[in-house]
Amino acid sequence: MKINENLAISESGFLFNPSTGESFTVNPIGAEIIELMKEGKTEAEISEKIIKSYEVDIKTLQKDLHDFSEILRHHQLLDQYEETKN
């Protein structure tokens, strides 16, 4: 799961995909997760970071992370090369 490197994300959670011109908004946790993905963190590393910062059990977190990545994939916000490789 690797986010499209060109994606621009602002502190307010406004997301802009420069290759398609599409824009989205995400909530603060979504923005944090995307920042972590941009830093190249793995899914396990992201889970670890989130679980330390928020009151959430691992099962709920994994489910939510999976749902979130599916939404990103649906909107073609994940790196296409990485996607094909996997």
Partner 1 sequence: MKKQRINIGVTGLNAIDSPGPGIAVIRGLREAKSFDVRIIGFAYESMEPGIYMHDLIDKTYQIPYPSAGTDVLLARLAYIQEQEKLDVIIPNFDAELYSFMKLEDKLRQMGIHMFLPTISQFEERHKVNLSDFGEKYEIDVPLGKAIYDSSEIFGLQKEFDFPLMVKGKWYDAYIAYNMEQARTYFNKISAKWGLPVVLQRFVHGTEYNVTGLGDGNGNTIAAVPMRKQFITDKGKAWAGISIDDKKLLAITEKFVSATKWRGAFELEMMKSNDNTYYLMEINPRIPAWVYLAVGVGQNIPEALTNLALGNDVEPFRTYEVGKLFIRYSYDMIVDRSEFEKISINGEL
Return residues touching partner 1 (CB under 8 A). 6, 8, 16, 18-22
Encoded amino acid at 52, one letter: K
DSSP 18: T
Task: Kindly state the smallest distance separating residue 38's Cβ from partner 1, in Å.
Answer: 17
Task: Kindly state the smallest distance separating residue 14's Cβ from partner 1, in Å.
Answer: 11
Encoded amino acid at 84, one letter: T
Q: How many alpha carbons fall within 13 Å on the CB side of residue 12? A: 5
- The nearer residue to partner 1, 19 or 25, going by C-beta atoms, is 19
- The nearer residue to partner 1, 22 or 45, going by C-beta atoms, is 22
